[in-house]
Structure 1
């Protein structure tokens, strides 16, 4: 069942985890800046988190393939991330903040690949992609809710006369409490998912889905570059960009489920074709648009297709007959490493080129997709 007890708990876990994990992200750069951090050091917080998450994801997958409990990894990860988030209340230096973020990346690499494997294990093949899609959608809803909660906390702190630094500490406190709710919920996961024999997954098998995931992770992480582009090239105000992003995110909730339905009904590879063709067209056309509305449309198509790829790729990984944990682990690693490389590539191109070509990083990454997709189809 698409809404069985265990799946509902996992959907809820994704929502709570995303609220708690996303709540402090918008204020973290400002909070860190108060400790004298440079722009590079602030960027390193994201890179450190992603790199730690990437490599721990593989280790978590390997442990699960060898028979270690997904539930235990989720509980340990949530328990540690609660403690680490509480450390934000007393941190005194940039190095302390960096270590906390790397630690949170390690916890993320324990929690979310394990949860994805459990969603796959509790769902049948006929609706597995939709289950993973709903899991992702609840996470995105959690992220949207976190923005409203953040505004509320900051407003309350202001009314109480707290300084900016004290208000930020209050945000970290609420985030830790919310993550504690996720830790407590994880103890209610009792059902038995589909059996996967405890075994060594053997040697690493390179799958063309991995470079596709790397490229998609890179495209997804170019959002900050796109925001800068629209602000500078078309003079779109930040408040309007936020409103556009909100509308996009609401539409993406529907399109993500639609792509997942196609994958369940017709198969993963046909669904990927529906994703990759518009993604390539949008990526190639993006730099050549001189009208703001058309440029926004191409950006929207890119975001829709990239987001739709994620649950389909996870469904593909959980359908493997052996080494499911490692498949999920490597998939997460590829996406996370793409998210590290993407902004660096996008920033270099943005600084070196002019006009619409400042956003050519979308074109470069999109052009690589057909190569690996045709390789995947031959597998």
Structure 2
């Protein structure tokens, strides 16, 4: 405790984090608004290396009642940025190969149906492998599974570059889908395990920012590499994945910073489902997968072409919305941590639902771009808030919690395009857009059932 002589006194209790392992007392000098000085004493007690509480009492001269002062937010763990870079490498590589894949498959005599099967197989293999990711993480640790996924994707991409037939291309693409889900589930589980509760929103935003930037830059670079040779983007992707695997091994070492090693507590899916936050987050993930891959990727291009615009206009619409999302993803992460998960979920699903609902009535390109950008703003919140909710529920424990959450997005990505296409053909295009709006509205209503609890470092 400390005191300063003056005409008035006020007490302010602050909470901060301390990584020490024993009680300690530290003295410092602090200044009041009028230039007078006083000493402060902080008594810190810690029972964990990652979270502790420190009660500081400050008595300032001449200030009367001192208003609460927000403590500076601690920086994110270094591993969060590493995972973001790794994710950026993965998405950059995917962006390199996706525009080239149909053209490359056509050189083996593949028609539109076979090319469609090649694209769908990747998502199907992700979906089929997802249920096993939790068990693999429990058995071997997410860090090892993450690296294995990166290496499997690298081998798959390199083999694709040297494929001699469509059948080989199909097999190698399927292996890439397996490696992709091993990486994505393990990376997210590791991210949530190493991030304190009051930083999970920002951590998820940084992680998603890497994916967004990679996805924006990849297609243009892939087109340039394809001018050299069609297999070149696949080899470049393999090199990127190998570099990402080396970076992961170098930084995410075994131990506490890895955040996901064998021997952690295991939580069952039945326990997670009893927590309201978990199904709400999974519902939001399903809606996101449905809208992004069913409506945006599968339906919007056909609508734009029907308006007598060429495919280039589709690319511009997607690029503009992606840039909007990239600009808003970091502020969205701060909102998730400071305002709480519930307000962020309500705002994200509400804005996204409004944008997709409005698409039902749009018949011009300019309004399409505007509404896709509005949806991107809501999607920025939905990239951070549901993942942070999952991290709060799982709380660093191993199991299938993250895998099932990821699986919900994949279900939307696989089922969404098929169902949306059927609705567009047999009913109408506005009705197809309405299917996504319904899912988002349901997620919006479900988000209201959450309780408003702002996470703290100790939680």
| Residue 201 (str. 1) matches residue 263 (str. 2) | no
Deviation of 1:344 (Å): 0.9
The root-mean-square deviation of aligned C-alpha atoms, in Å, is 2.5
| Residue 99 (str. 1) matches residue 171 (str. 2) | yes
Aligned CA distance change for structure 1 residues 372 and 34 (closer, same or farther; 3 Å): farther
**Matched ranges for 1:133-152 at <5 A:** 133-152=205-224
- Counterparts of 1:11 and 1:46 in 2: how far apart (Å)? 25
1:34 paired residue among 101, 104, 107: 107
**Matched ranges for 1:1-379 at <5 A:** 2-64=75-137, 66=138, 68-155=140-227, 157=228, 167-188=229-250, 189-190=252-253, 192-193=256-257, 194=259, 198-204=264-270, 205-206=272-273, 207-221=279-293, 222-224=295-297, 225-233=299-307, 235-320=308-393, 321=395, 323-354=397-428, 356-357=430-431, 359-374=433-448
Question: What is the TM-score when the length of structure 1 is the normalising length?
Answer: 0.88
* Structure having the larger proportion of residues in strand: 2
Contact 2:317 2:372 survives alignment (8 Å): no
- Counterparts of 1:170 and 1:27 in 2: how far apart (Å)? 10
- Counterparts of 1:116 and 1:348 in 2: how far apart (Å)? 33
DSSP 3-state at the match of 2:373:
helix
Partner of 1:161: none
DSSP 3-state at the match of 1:187:
helix
- Counterparts of 1:307 and 1:353 in 2: how far apart (Å)? 31
DSSP 3-state at the match of 2:309:
coil
Contact 1:229 1:359 survives alignment (8 Å): no
Q: Deviations over 1:93-116 (max 9, x none)?
A: 222222212211111111111111
Deviation of 1:26 (Å): 0.8
Deviation of 1:149 (Å): 1.9
Q: Deviations over 1:127-157 (max 9, x none)?
A: 21111111110121112222232133134x1
DSSP 3-state at the match of 2:400:
helix
Deviation of 1:377 (Å): 5.7
Q: Deviations over 1:332-354 (max 9, x none)?
A: 00001110111112211222345
DSSP 3-state at the match of 2:256:
coil
Kindly report structure 1 stretches of 4+ aligned residues shifted beyond 4 Å.
194-197, 322-325, 354-358, 374-378
Deviation of 1:5 (Å): 3.0
- Counterparts of 2:166 and 2:172 in 1: how far apart (Å)? 10
Gap regions ≥5 residues in structure 1: 158-166
Aligned CA distance change for structure 1 residues 308 and 26 (closer, same or farther; 3 Å): farther
Aligned CA distance change for structure 1 residues 140 and 183 (closer, same or farther; 3 Å): same
Q: Deviations over 1:157-188 (max 9, x none)?
A: 1xxxxxxxxx2112212221121111221211
Deviation of 1:45 (Å): 2.5
Deviation of 1:210 (Å): 1.8
- Counterparts of 1:291 and 1:195 in 2: how far apart (Å)? 49
Contact 1:215 1:338 survives alignment (8 Å): yes
Partner of 1:164: none
Bigger Cα displacement from structure 2, 359-368 vs 82-91: 359-368
Aligned CA distance change for structure 1 residues 195 and 135 (closer, same or farther; 3 Å): closer
Deviation of 1:290 (Å): 3.2
Tell me the number of residue pairs that the alignment of Structure 1 and Structure 2 aligns.
Answer: 367
- Counterparts of 1:38 and 1:326 in 2: how far apart (Å)? 38
* Structure having the larger proportion of residues in helix: 1
Contact 2:134 2:403 survives alignment (8 Å): yes
Bigger Cα displacement from structure 2, 351-360 vs 238-247: 351-360
Deviation of 1:364 (Å): 4.0
- Counterparts of 2:440 and 2:153 in 1: how far apart (Å)? 35
DSSP 3-state at the match of 1:88:
helix
Gap regions ≥5 residues in structure 2: 1-73, 274-278, 453-459
Bigger Cα displacement from structure 2, 178-187 vs 351-360: 351-360
Q: Deviations over 1:213-246 (max 9, x none)?
A: 112111011223112212213x333223322322
